[in-house]
Amino acid sequence: MWRIPALRLLGCTRSSRVFLFQDAGPRHYGSCPLGARDEVRDRRAYFTTPIFYVNAAPHIGHLYSALLADALCRHRSLRVPGAVTTRFSTGTDEHGLKIQQAAAIAGVAPAELCDRVSAQFQRLFREAGIACTDFIRTTEVRHRRAVQHFWEVLRARGLLYKGLYEGWYCASDECFLPEAKVTKQQGPSGDACHVSLESGHPVAWTKEENYIFRLSQFREPLQQWLRDDPQVITPEPFHHAVLQWLEEELPDLSVSRRSSHLHWGIPVPGDDSQTIYVWLDALVNYLTVIGYPDAEFKSWWPTTSHIIGKDILKFHAIYWPALLLGAGMSPPHRIYVHSHWTVCGQKMSKSLGNVVDPKTCLDRYTVDGFRYFLLRQGVPNWDCDYYDEKVVKLLDSELADALGGLLNRCTAKRLNPSGTYPAFCAACFPNKPGLVGSSVRVQAEDYALVRAVASLPKQVADHYDNFQIYKALEAVSSCVRQTNGFVQRHAPWKLNWENPVEAPWLGTVLHVALECLRVFGTLLQPVTPTLADKLLSQLGVSATERGLGELNFLPRFYGHPCPFEGRRLGPETGLLFPRLDQSRTWLVKAHRT
């Protein structure tokens, strides 16, 4: 006989979004109430990407997930400085039938395939500037220990039982499918074969005795968790979709396979004839990274934000929180879901031969250029289409012309011969619109620019909080355009430093433009770290002046001193972002072939 612990959801504290659970049995699981420890924990943030299968080389979709997490984590570090307040993990998912079969087809041992492809992911992420704090491989000993411990906890809590499982299994997706999600299709040899309706991948009928998790018991706690915090799953349509799924019956879940069929995995503790289901194995990676089962993991759980693609929503929003609740733990704080990249309107796939190699893109467009493109164009709610001309057009117009042009104009020797951060003249640019006087040169639109740039950091932070990095970049880009308009309007190149009437205004125009550039550079650090560093160094902004707490835009306008005024600008280091369209011989060639 099994016994399910009577979990009662006691409540969710809005500030920390920590769930408090009480076990009716003798043990007390879950988080401690708010207190001094939680204040520390509130300052911590743990970001994760999915861990990627090693059956094939990484593509731009994998890089996109890692970039989203990287930018979120970098933005958070700029906001909350301090020694260890953020953590960011990624890694490779190396067990399961999919990998076992891929290794067999490649004629290599699974461990060899894992080593090779995992190294490709690690290299790509290093080259793309993904500043993860942890890279986990599920074949590591620390992970095996965590998974087996987690299993034992579920077993001790009466949540696993042995039963006969019969149904469709899709090895490509590593999931079980109900009859309604399977269809018949004509295979390459003309024979009818069964495939998954959703992914189109082949499925096989499986009948075997294995361990089963009492998932069905968790339908209501999951519904309550999602209803209590409507922002758990972002964007909202995905939250809604999960609630819809939970309206349907939630069958128990088979969580092991016969070892004779699946040997490449973690054995069930105490029963070598069974191997643990790869999704249970993979999901526990999020705990392994933070030291589970040792107590240290508690300072990072559940302040976790999982960044995932829409294809694996069910595993993260239903199976994972249910398993956690089953183990007496809180579900994750946030699940950020993004849609997919397609290529010229088609799904990216090895068989279609249209997989975009991220390494080629980083080489062609530069690391910062390609990071900017993916994060500026990728919209979590909808699939995004990739093609080369789109990248060139975007980067040339926003990074080379608008941002690079602005920096170039305002720091060029011709316009700024002293090579310093010019002084701001309050008489030329008084802080109250409508003032008249002989030295007042400012126009109504200039106040709109100051307002827009002053509110930009908050706007950007809100977009990050809502997992809309593309909107944050759109807002920065719009302010860059406004600043170019400001410079164009006042045409400082027509003013003369030698003229005592014109010089204060000339200095003010440049001062305001440089202040705007300083804000843009600071805010772009999470997305284009090298380019932002170049920009800020050229403005003479030191490493300790680049946090969001130190931003303090245009203090002279508000009557405060400006630490940059009169400071020497940094050395010129060439164009911020050279235009691509002149150097894209590869693109022309690609079109001819």
Residues that bind ligand ME8 (CB under 6 A): 50-53, 61-62, 64-65, 93, 282-283, 285, 308-309, 311-312, 340-341, 348
Say whether 106 sits in a helix, a strand or coil.
Answer: helix
Four-CA torsion 197, 198, 204, 206, nearest 10 degrees: -110
The Cα–Cα gap between 488 and 484 comes to 6
Say whether 184 sits in a helix, a strand or coil.
Answer: strand
Looking at the Cβ atoms of 53 and 520, the one nearer to ligand ME8 is 53
The Cα–Cα gap between 60 and 378 comes to 11
For the bound state, the minimum distance from the C-beta of residue 163 to ligand ME8, rounded and expressed in Å, comes to 25
Q: Are the CB atoms for 76 and 44 separated by under 8 Å?
A: no
Of 349, 353, 339, 336, nearest to 385 by C-alpha is 339
Looking at the Cβ atoms of 65 and 303, the one nearer to ligand ME8 is 65
Looking at the Cβ atoms of 337 and 394, the one nearer to ligand ME8 is 337
For the bound state, the minimum distance from the C-beta of residue 244 to ligand ME8, rounded and expressed in Å, comes to 20
Q: Is the peptide bond before 293 cis (omega within 30 degrees of 0)?
A: yes
For the bound state, the minimum distance from the C-beta of residue 449 to ligand ME8, rounded and expressed in Å, comes to 36
Q: Are the CB atoms for 90 and 46 separated by under 8 Å?
A: no
Q: Are the CB atoms for 294 and 276 separated by under 8 Å?
A: no
Residue written as tokens 């400085």? 81
For the bound state, the minimum distance from the C-beta of residue 349 to ligand ME8, rounded and expressed in Å, comes to 9
Residues 6+ apart with CB under 8 A from 230: 236, 239
For the bound state, the minimum distance from the C-beta of residue 465 to ligand ME8, rounded and expressed in Å, comes to 20
With CB atoms as reference, the residue minimizing the distance to ligand ME8 is: 61
For the bound state, the minimum distance from the C-beta of residue 64 to ligand ME8, rounded and expressed in Å, comes to 5
Looking at the Cβ atoms of 308 and 517, the one nearer to ligand ME8 is 308
The Cα–Cα gap between 308 and 68 comes to 10
- Edge-first strand order for the sheet with 384-386 is 346-347, 341-343, 384-386
Looking at the Cβ atoms of 51 and 289, the one nearer to ligand ME8 is 51
Q: Are the CB atoms for 446 and 488 separated by under 8 Å?
A: no
The Cα–Cα gap between 274 and 262 comes to 8
For the bound state, the minimum distance from the C-beta of residue 324 to ligand ME8, rounded and expressed in Å, comes to 13
Looking at the Cβ atoms of 150 and 520, the one nearer to ligand ME8 is 150
Looking at the Cβ atoms of 52 and 373, the one nearer to ligand ME8 is 52
Looking at the Cβ atoms of 147 and 282, the one nearer to ligand ME8 is 282
Token representation of residue 261: 């069929």
For the bound state, the minimum distance from the C-beta of residue 93 to ligand ME8, rounded and expressed in Å, comes to 3
Looking at the Cβ atoms of 20 and 348, the one nearer to ligand ME8 is 348
For the bound state, the minimum distance from the C-beta of residue 138 to ligand ME8, rounded and expressed in Å, comes to 9
